Amino acid sequence: MNQSQKTSSFLRAINKYAKEQSDAIRLEVEEFKKQEIEKATKEGIEDAYTLIQKEIAVKKSQIVMEVAKREQESRKQLFQKRNEIVTKVFADAKAKLLDYVKTDDYITYLKDSAQKIAQLIDNNKCVVYLKERDMDKADIIRGIIKDCEICADNSIELGGIRAHCENLSIVADDTLDTKLSDQRMWFAENSGLKVV
């Protein structure tokens, strides 16, 4: 074999080896690219999932705060409405009591109230307080509570009797004002107008 054939054969062998090496490197590069793409895709998916979870957590937090805010506002409105209802109910009751104190039934109420107080103080000296408007009924009260001083009390707005017996250290309050005030608590507990 001559030199030219040897060189040609050698170059073919080198080219063949270079092609095999080139093909092997190309396959290796393709495999590496494939692995890197899969790795990047997996990391991207994980990052996206983490980001989505964070966004979901933020949205949930915002929704919870918004719901709490709306619930608080609703309770505030319910509380205001309940107060309006209570105020109206008791304003109506007060108006009816102011009409009631102008009737003969009110005089009967005062007599019954004086009887209860007379039994409670058991002939001890006391001071009986009436609304200024009721001072014209002082003689009726003196006829029932024997040993008493009768005074006008401007703090009594509606009517009724309040008595103070110093010897017994008691105050007997049978005023319509106190009875109406006591009904507020009962009404709050039993009206079904609770704000929960």
Q: Give the other-Cβ count within 10 Å of 156's Cβ.
A: 21
- Report d(CA 68, CA 38) in Å as an integer: 44
- Which pLDDT value is given to residue 192? 64
Q: How far apart are CA 134 and CA 162, in angstroms?
A: 12
Euclidean distance between CA atoms 85 and 194, whole angstroms: 12
Residue in this structure with the two tokens 């009206």, named with its chain if needed: 191
Predicted local confidence at residue 193, as pLDDT: 59
In Å, the largest CA–CA distance within the chain is 160
Span 71-81, pLDDT tens digits? 888 888 877 88
What tens digit of pLDDT does each residue of 46-64 get? 877 888 888 888 888 888 8
Instruction: Give the span between the Cα atoms of 151 and 115, in whole angstroms.
Output: 18
Angle between helix 3-100 and 176-190 (nearest 10): 150
**CA–CA distance, 59 with 39 (Å, rounded to integer):** 30
Select from 3.40.50.720, 3.30.2320.30, 2.30.40.10, 3.40.50.300 the CATH code of 104-190: 3.30.2320.30
User: Mind listing the pLDDT tens digit for each residue in 98-131?
Assistant: 999 999 999 999 999 999 999 988 888 999 999 9
Burial of residue 48, with CB atoms counted within 10 A of its CB: 0-12 exposed, 13-18 middle, 19 or more buried: exposed
Q: Cβ distance 153 to 164 under 8 Å? A: no
Show the CA angle centred on residue 47, arms to residues 27 and 58, nearest 5°: 170
More confident position, 73 or 152: 152
- Find the mean pLDDT for residues 35-50: 81
- What pTM does this model have? 0.60
Q: Give the residue extent of every domain in the chain.
A: 1-100, 104-190
